[in-house]
Structure 1
Amino acid sequence: MNEILDTAALVLILIGALLCLTAAIGLVRFTDVATRLHAATKPQVLGLILICLAIALSLRSWPVVAFLIPIVLIQLATAPLSAHMVGRQAYRNGTVNEKSLLVDELADSQRTPPAAGG
């Protein structure tokens, strides 16, 4: 049973590391903000979760699991929030290619002032 868990941990670390590597390559290779945000958040978070799961399988200790759970939860909470803030600021700066957007929900809020009530 130990060999099976160790092999599973090895595979999870390998997949997690490959996902983190693809996220880093995506940050370097992609040109616009929206695609870089996808590369920075989606594979990176999944890679971290897989690596944390592999660590828990490898060490087989409840204190380690108790330590890894907040790490994963904080990552799940902060990655989408930071991507949202960066994307919104890029939209305000005009660095987002508006022709590539399928739905532009912020365009209406740009035309109507927040205090106008509409």
Structure 2
Amino acid sequence: MKIEVLSAIFLLLGAGFMFVAALGLVRFPDLFTRMHAASKAGSLGLGCILLGVAVAYPAPIVIAKCIMVLLFIFLTTPIAAHMIGRAAYLLKVPFWKGTVADELKDRYSEDRKTLGS
């Protein structure tokens, strides 16, 4: 009984994070903040859901698969978000009008299409 309750808590927590990610995609004003919401909350949501699955089905193969999927998601989501953000910046996707700083403005070479350090 305790395992089912713990699993349900993780599944509901994961669903809540996924809902927050979806809400961020709808409510945030520009690509960069939407991407942030989707990558952070989506990763946490999927992590909680996989943890709930691993708790509900404690077979070693299920736990191993959950760990592998979790590692894959946690390794690829930040890289994908970074690459999408960089491509959007290089394509000059407009920022939200309330954006305070553009920290890459002085580091971008327009002629070479590269970012300096």
Question: Same-fold call, TM > 0.5?
Answer: yes
Among all aligned residue pairs of Structure 1 and Structure 2, give the percentage whose two residues are the same amino acid: 33
Larger helix fraction of residues? 1
Distance 2:20 2:93 in 1: 24
For the 8 Å contact 1:17–1:47, the answer to whether it is kept is yes
**Structure exhibiting the larger radius of gyration computed from Cα positions:** 1
Distance 1:6 1:17 in 2: 16
Runs of 4+ in 1 over 6 A off after TM superposition: none
Structure 2 CA distance for partners of 1:82 and 1:112, relative to 1, 3 Å:
same
Q: How many residues align?
A: 115
For the 8 Å contact 1:34–1:96, the answer to whether it is kept is no
Question: CA RMSD of the aligned region, Å?
Answer: 2.5
Q: What pairs up with 1:2-17 in 2 under 5 angstroms?
A: 3-17=1-15
2:54 counterpart of 1:36: no
For the 8 Å contact 1:10–1:54, the answer to whether it is kept is yes
Q: What pairs up with 1:3-82 in 2 under 5 angstroms?
A: 3-82=1-80
TM-score after normalising by structure 1: 0.84
For the 8 Å contact 2:39–2:78, the answer to whether it is kept is yes
Q: Which amino acid aligns with 2:3?
A: L
Cα deviation 1:50-85 (Å, max 9, x = unaligned): 100100100111110111111001101111111111
Cα deviation 1:1-32 (Å, max 9, x = unaligned): xx111101101100100110110121122120
Structure 2 regions of 5+ residues with no counterpart? none
TM-score after normalising by structure 2: 0.85
